[in-house]
Structure 1
Amino acid sequence: MMRDAAQFDPTDSRVTRPAFWGALPERWTSDAEETLVCCHVRQETHDVKSFFFRSPQGRTFSFEPGQFVTLELEIDGEAVNRCYTISSSPARPHTISITVKRVPGGKVSNWLHDNLLPGASIRVLGPGGEFTCARHPANKYLFLSAGSGITPLMSMSRAHHDLAEDRDIVFVHSARTPDDIIFARELELIAASHSNFRTSFVCERLGARTAWPGVTGFLTLPLLKLIAPDFMDREIFTCGPAPYMKAVRDLLDEAGFPRKQYHEESFSFETLNADEPEALVEAPAETAVGAETEAATFKVTFAKSNREIQCGTDQHVLEAARQAGVRLPSSCAQGMCGTCKVKLVSGQVQMNHKGGIRQREIDQGMALMCCSKPLSDLVIDK
């Protein structure tokens, strides 16, 4: 039925349209627009919430499914950075979402759950990260996740669903109980919409849902062979707590799975040892440039932003950049998360990392700014 056009007057000042209606919007970048607005909060489970954000200027978001953003927060007067995987689909570019599990004693997750409401503005950096199926195209995937590690794989699943990419995907998610399964109904909807998308949930115990018809216990090699008999032919993406990912690696190694088809990601900053950052920051750099350079200062040039700062040999580059007002993505500040990874165009650094960068990346000239001290003038591709 046609509506009378006279019923709608676009010049009526009482009528407002969403910012994304009309002209093609610009792409959002954290350099152009530092803050986003929380536009919706959704309770996923009893201790998990999704937070949705939009650009105040109506810009759209461009990212690869599986990538993350860094939130710059102020909690109790202290500046705190945390990176969270984007859980939404890049095919829906007008908003992005993160999905956060409340961690007992977790400073940031509890603050977000208790304080972040629609209308609040948050400083955001990113997106970044290399854990994405977009960079590893395949006809058959196996997604393995546990707990809140489901978020990057959910973004990948949503992207395939939104783009009608009926790839052969098996999604196996492990949770404590059936009531702890995040996105359960949506995953079932995707599976119902796409013939080649299959889900399987593995719950440690029944919890309150005693009529649960699914699998209880833990993911094992025999169970994986039952769920995905052809898993050896699939590209595997895994995300979850460290013990879960180690168990996955062990069972895949037992099966002889080729590591070149295996990709993993893990962010667990809420449980880091609070005493370790200070120990790392204060650790003296072992250099071979001589004692006369201990009090030296080197020039650090950021090639893309055309900024220059000074950094002492006893100072981490990230610290010097912050003091100079240069915004760089960062999170753990311990050389663990890889958020501050950059490409060194020229120069050398002394880097004391804790696993946040791979040796092949170091060989390619990459470095983590949070735990790197200059040994010469630097030019950074940033």
Structure 2
Amino acid sequence: MDASAPKPATAGPVPTGYFRWEPEEDDVLICRAVRNETHDVKTFVLAPRQDRQFEFVSGQFMTFEFEINGETIQRCYTISSPPTRRDTVTITVKRVPGGPVSNWLHDEFQPGMMLKATVPMGEFTWSGMQDTKYLFLSGGSGITPMMAMTRAAYDLALISDIEFVHAARSPDDIIFRDELSFMGRRNHWIKPTFICEKDSPFERWSGIRGRFDHAKLQVICPDFKERVVFVCGPAPFMKAVRELFVEAGFDMSRYHQESFNFESFTEEAQEQIAEATEAITTDVKVFQLEFTKTGRTVECPEGLTVLEAARRAGIRVPSSCSKGLCGTCKSKLTSGSVEMKHGGGIRQREIDAGMALLCCSRPKSDLVIER
């Protein structure tokens, strides 16, 4: 066999003789360690309370439940550790100014403390792909899913050609800088490149400078059209990168992106709103949605999701995947019924207790919602 020929990337064999962590049995994880990555980014190492191991694929996320100041908040975080290290999972969190969860994690969450979590979910992964050449593009904390993939490739000594490009504000903001450089030195198939916009107070950046553009892409990865591309980062970063690849004539069926944006609408949601607005002038039913915590009552045309009706009325409801996967928008229905087609982000016992995912729930009657 030609040793220079790359092999497909896989998640690796599943070990035998282990007990898989099942959140249906015990959904509580305990913090084992907290690691400082940069001045505003920390990694949290989590493990089951019992002798269990995690089963997931690189790039997936988990939804966590936090009790902060008497309020229950759900957030999604991508697993930054690889599936080759099954005894723990890690999440890597950037402090967001004013963010209730990220600031609580940075300031309060310590080894020995516990939180609840759901089973790993998500489709942003290279698992099962037969390709041999990849281009990972990340900005800021969007590095985490690609880091999980790269760590798996390193642990398994996969012969997978990975161009890993990470954009940061300054050298001080490069997450996993030392580890990526180390993996690149030890495995020549892993080739990290860092791009910074400016110098740090105590380091003058001598590498590629500025924002990612077509010229930098050609220099870093001239064979990019031969690769499968994974992109994750802030919405403006992903928008610019996507436009760049479209303009370059890239085969977008080989382009994959992931982002959890709590503020923006998905294209599908925008279409739903447009269709529902038009439907108001017809004989379509319109239901009343009462949100108890905000004291607001809004109208929801039949066929529109509860989440989009709330957003359309200016009510801010935390959400993430908009596909019924993550559980971020999980809410209690104290009155009324919905049609809900979810993707695994809610358990049957929660449904039986009157909970619903607002992103994939369409009202069948007037509703009273604890939000």
- Using structure 2 for the length normalisation, give the TM-score: 0.72
Question: Helix, strand or coil for the counterpart of 2:59?
Answer: coil
SS in 1 for 2:66: strand
Residues 75-86 of structure 1: matches in 2 within 5 Å?
75-86=68-79
1:207 aligned onto 2:200:
yes
Pairing partner for 1:182 from 175, 190, 209: 175
Structure 1 residue 49 corresponds to structure 2 residue 67:
no
Could you tell me which residue of structure 2 aligns to residue 337 of structure 1?
321
- The one-letter amino acid of 1:152's match is P
3-state DSSP class of the match of 1:134?
A: coil
Measured after TM superposition, the shift of residue 254 of structure 1 is: 1.4
Q: Deviations over 1:337-360 (max 9, x none)?
A: 236249xxxxx9599xxxxxxxxx
Aligned residue identity for 2:182 = L
Separation in 2, partners of 1:231, 1:315: 40
* Residue aligned with 2:120, SS: strand
CA contact (8 A) 1:285 1:350 kept: no
Tell me the secondary structure at the aligned position of residue 126 of structure 1.
coil
Verify: 1:145 aligned to 2:134, yes or no: no
How far residue 36 of structure 1 moved from its aligned partner, in angstroms, is 0.4
Work out which of the residue numbers 339, 359, 362 in structure 2 matches 1:373. Answer: 362
Q: Map 1:1-382 to 2 at 5 A.
A: 24-269=17-262, 333=317, 336-338=320-322, 340-341=324-325, 349=339, 369-375=358-364
Contact preservation (8 Å) 1:129, 1:339: no
> Do the aligned partners of 2:198 and 2:205 also contact (CA within 8 Å) in 1?
no
Match of 1:17 in 2: none
| Structure 1 residues 247 and 66: CA distance shift in structure 2, 3 A | same
1:233-290 Cα distance to aligned partner (Å, 9 max, x none):
1000000000000110111111100110000001233x679xxxxxx9xx99969886
Distance in 1 of aligned mates of 2:177 and 2:319: 34
Query: 1:216, 1:368 → 2: CA distance?
Result: 43
Gaps of 5+ in 2: 1-15, 266-272, 289-301, 308-315, 327-337, 342-355, 366-371
Once the two structures are superposed, residues 193-218 of structure 1 have per-residue CA deviations (whole angstroms, 9 ceiling, x without a partner) of 11111011000111224432211101
**Structure 2 CA distance, aligned partners of 1:79 and 1:284?**
33
**Residue type of the alignment partner of 1:340:** G
Partner of 2:347 in structure 1? none
Distance 2:192 2:78 in 1: 21
Whole-angstrom distance in 2 between the partners of 1:284 and 1:189: 54
Q: CA deviation at 1:315?
A: 11
Match of 1:13 in 2: none
Cα deviation, residue 317, structure 1: 8.4
Output the CA distance in 1 between the equivalents of 2:29 and 2:306.
27
| Distance of aligned partners of 1:214 and 1:226 in 2 relative to their CA distance in 1, 3 Å threshold | same
Post-superposition Cα deviations, 1:302-340, rounded to whole Å, max 9, x if no partner, equal xxxxxxxxxxx899789xxxxxxxxxxxxx956652362
Gaps of 5+ in 1: 1-22, 274-279, 296-312, 319-331, 343-347, 352-366, 377-382
Q: CA RMSD in A?
A: 3.2
Q: Distance in 2 between matches of 1:314 and 1:260?
A: 30
Q: Distance in 2 between matches of 1:135 and 1:41?
A: 32
Q: Please tell me whether the aligned partners of residues 323 and 359 of structure 2 are also in contact (alpha carbons under 8 angstroms).
A: no
- Structure with higher Rg: it is 1
Mapped to 2, the partners of 1:267 and 1:237 lie a distance apart of: 15
Rate the CA distance shift 1:335–1:99 in 2: closer, same or farther, 3 A: closer
When residues 124 and 224 of structure 1 are mapped into structure 2, their CA distance, relative to the original with a 3 A threshold, is same
Once the two structures are aligned, what percentage of the paired residues are identical? 47
Aligned partners of 1:285 and 1:314 also within 8 Å: no
Superposed displacement of residue 154, structure 1: 0.3
Question: What letter matches 1:171 in structure 2?
Answer: F
Question: Partners of 1:111 and 1:272 in 2: how far apart?
Answer: 24
CA–CA separation in structure 2 for the residues paired with 1:290 and 1:245: 37
- Indicate conservation of the 8 Å contact 1:341/1:369, yes or no: no
In structure 2, what is the Cα distance between the partners aligned to 1:134 and 1:252? 23
